[in-house]
């Protein structure tokens, strides 16, 4: 019989009418506010996002996992939340885009898990219309619960009073956040700046938490019961396989769930820096994840020791998985944001070039006889190559499907995979076996 996980905790899904309303920093500041009050806070992120979770981990002091009914699966969404509710004093989920945007949307996740929804509404240039926006969010779907909203970026206490007076019956103002420098995190072409690059992030989060406390946002949301069947353990398909993973400022787009799965299947993980190291750890396989190689291309090109070590690994027929930024590093060369060309690993004949606009965005999957690896694509570079792909992903939403290249023991694509969706396929990739199409 399958065990049922069940837990109770105050919980909320933090959302907004659209992107740019401030929900990321509000979620992080709420996590830090309650952590500073002595509470254990667990935070999750809806959708395929690497950058927001980095900040949320610093804010909460706890690991952050992705939740997405399609990519991670409905059952996983439920059990991760239930597991968190068993141990935490507060569970927060940061939504993606606007509340009803996408398929599945943040609203779909809230309805699936039974989470109360807490919208953050940017109130700049708005007075009584604030109430209309709140009413629309609260009444648009009957299967979600919105009883409170947060006003963000108000101009004065009087402004906050007008917003509160505009709210319809059944919807209250949890707090009104003034405009403050602490409530802004810098971003770049793929999203927020990585948490590791923000030298004063802890101090800023403490300051942001203080802003929220002064705005009356120190009250816990409603307590809910979260429950789900416990997952089955994956088979030991990578027992004893040593996997070295690139992790530094250039390669940092790693889902915690992917790392957990590799270890649960028996792999032994180690980490190295293609920027700082000149040798590889002892490893049977390498993983070059996504990140920002374009910002560090000169250093990557100059590290001849590391480039030689990775080439030797490939020449010996040992597996390499390269995702997005990893694919860019495996190309012959990379043209950066300033138009400068840098020599890369040369394992994949071709050139990756940074473009003025986003080149791909959307949910995708790779379907093979070993299962369907679900994930997404999101990049601003293009690849010029005469190589023919071994396979192509399937597009669920967004731009065109991505090619998947296999060159000897290298598997490379712009596609980012969520490993728990297809453990057998992931094991095949890290054992260097051809795709079973």
341-343 and 290-291 strand pairing: unpaired
Q: In degrees rounded to 5, what are phi and psi of residue 366? A: -115, 115
Catalytic residue among 33, 96, 97, 324: 324
3-state DSSP of the chain: CCCEEEEEEEEEEEECCCCCCCHHHHHHHHHHHHHHCCCCEEEEEECCCCHHHHHHHHHHCCCCEEECHHHHHHHHHHHHHHHHHHHCCEEEEECCCCCCCCCCCHHHHHHHHCCCEEEEEECCCCCCHHHHHHHHHHHCCCCCCCCEEEEEEECCHHHHHHHHHHCCCCCEEEEEEECCHHHCCCEECCEECCHHHCCCHHHHHHHHHHHHHHCCCCCCCCEEEEEEECCCCCCCCCCCCEEEEECCCCEEECCHHHHHHHHHCCCEEEEECCCCCCCCCCCCEEEECEECHHHCHHHHHHCHHHHHHHHHHHHCCCCEEEECHHHHHHEEEEECCCCCEEECCCCEEEEEEECCCCCEEEEEEEEECCEEEEEEEEECEEEECCCCCCEECEECCCCCCCEEEEECCEEEECCEEEHHHCHHHHHHHHCCCCCCC
Instruction: Report which of 6, 15, 22, 7 is spatially closest to residue 44, judged by C-alpha positions.
Output: 15
The token pair at 401 is 């499907």
Q: Catalytic site residue 330? A: no
Catalytic residues: 324
């Amino acid at each position: 019989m399958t065990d049922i996980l069940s837990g109770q905790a105050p919980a909320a899904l933090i959302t907004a009418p659209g992107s740019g309303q401030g929900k990321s920093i509000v979620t992080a500041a709420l996590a830090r506010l309650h952590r500073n009050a002595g509470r254990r806070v667990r935070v999750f992120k809806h959708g395929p996002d690497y950058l927001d979770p980095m900040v949320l981990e610093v804010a909460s002091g706890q690991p952050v996992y992705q939740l997405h009914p399609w990519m991670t699966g409905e059952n996983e969404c439920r059990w991760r939340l239930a597991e968190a509710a068993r141990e935490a004093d507060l569970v927060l989920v940061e939504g993606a885009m606007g509340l009803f945007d996408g398929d599945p949307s943040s609203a779909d996740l809230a309805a699936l898990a039974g989470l109360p929804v807490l919208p953050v509404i940017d109130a700049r240039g708005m007075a009584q219309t604030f109430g209309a926006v709140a009413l629309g969010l609260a009444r648009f779907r009957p299967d979600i619960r919105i009883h409170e909203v947060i006003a963000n970026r108000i101009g004065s206490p009087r402004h906050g009073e007008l917003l509160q007076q505009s709210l319809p019956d059944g919807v209250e103002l949890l707090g009104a956040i003034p405009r403050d420098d602490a409530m802004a995190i810098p971003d770049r072409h793929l999203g927020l700046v990585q948490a590791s690059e923000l030298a004063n992030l802890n101090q800023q989060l403490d300051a942001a938490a203080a802003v929220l406390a002064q705005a009356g946002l120190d009250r816990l949301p409603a307590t809910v019961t979260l429950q789900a069947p416990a997952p089955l353990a994956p088979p030991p398909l990578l027992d004893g396989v040593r996997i070295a993973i690139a992790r530094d400022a250039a390669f940092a787009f790693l889902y915690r769930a992917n790392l957990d799965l590799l270890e649960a299947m028996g792999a032994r993980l180690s980490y190295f820096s293609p920027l700082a190291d000149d040798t590889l750890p002892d490893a049977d396989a390498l993983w070059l994840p996504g990140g920002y190689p374009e910002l560090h291309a000169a250093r990557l090109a100059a590290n001849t020791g590391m480039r030689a070590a990775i080439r030797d690994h490939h020449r010996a027929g040992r597996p390499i998985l390269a995702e997005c930024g990893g694919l860019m590093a495996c190309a012959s060369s990379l043209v950066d944001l300033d138009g400068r060309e840098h020599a890369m690993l040369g394992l994949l004949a071709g050139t990756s070039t940074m473009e003025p606009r986003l080149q791909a965005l959307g949910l995708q999957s790779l379907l093979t006889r070993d299962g369907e690896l679900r994930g997404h694509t999101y990049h601003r570079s293009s690849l010029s190559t005469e190589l023919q792909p071994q396979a192509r992903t399937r597009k669920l939403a967004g731009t065109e499907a991505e090619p998947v290249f296999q060159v000897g023991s290298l598997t490379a694509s712009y596609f980012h995979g969520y490993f728990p969706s297809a453990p057998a396929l992931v094991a095949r990739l890290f054992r260097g076996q051809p795709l079973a199409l």
